[in-house]
Amino acid sequence: MQKLPIIIKLAQKFKMAEIHITEIQYVELNSEEGLEFKYKPEVPKLKLVGTLLDAESEDEEEGILFLTQKQLNQLLLNKDIDLKVQDDRWFLNKPLTKDQLKKVGLVDVDAEYMGTAGEFKCYEAVKVS
């Protein structure tokens, strides 16, 4: 699998956004260096790669969400989603059902827009509710 180069063009101003996860491609431990996280910077972050929906602009596109293990657990709680480990990445054990997609998509994630990495918009989760 190809490793995504993370060269983030930092935005002049960090912008808060409400985003929703509409598809999960995979989750892995963040191995990128030089990223400045604002939310609990001392806590290791996971990197969720998937389809993100910006609630304000209603733009839906592939993106990266950096979040803590606790935040990932909050996102997946009570949704019967199984992840399997393969090559140090967590993949969905089976595709999400429409009901699971709806439940995950309804979870509000307050996030700070960090910039872009190639074609991916990158966000840091601040609050999952």
Instruction: Please give the pLDDT value at position 14.
Output: 55
Instruction: Please give the pLDDT value at position 34.
Output: 83
Per-residue pLDDT reduced to its tens digit, 103-112:
999 999 999 9
Q: Which residues of the chain have pLDDT under 70?
A: 1-14
Q: How many domains does the chain have?
A: 1
Residue 111 domain boundaries: 14-33+41-128
Does residue 5 fall inside a structural domain? Answer: no
Does residue 3 fall inside a structural domain? Answer: no
Per-residue pLDDT reduced to its tens digit, 70-89:
999 999 988 999 899 999 99
Does residue 55 fall inside a structural domain? Answer: yes
| Strand spans (E) along 55-108 | 60-67, 83-86, 89-92
Does residue 19 fall inside a structural domain? Answer: yes
Does residue 7 fall inside a structural domain? Answer: no
DSSP string, 17-41: EEEEEEEEEEEEE----S---SSST
pTM given for the model: 0.86
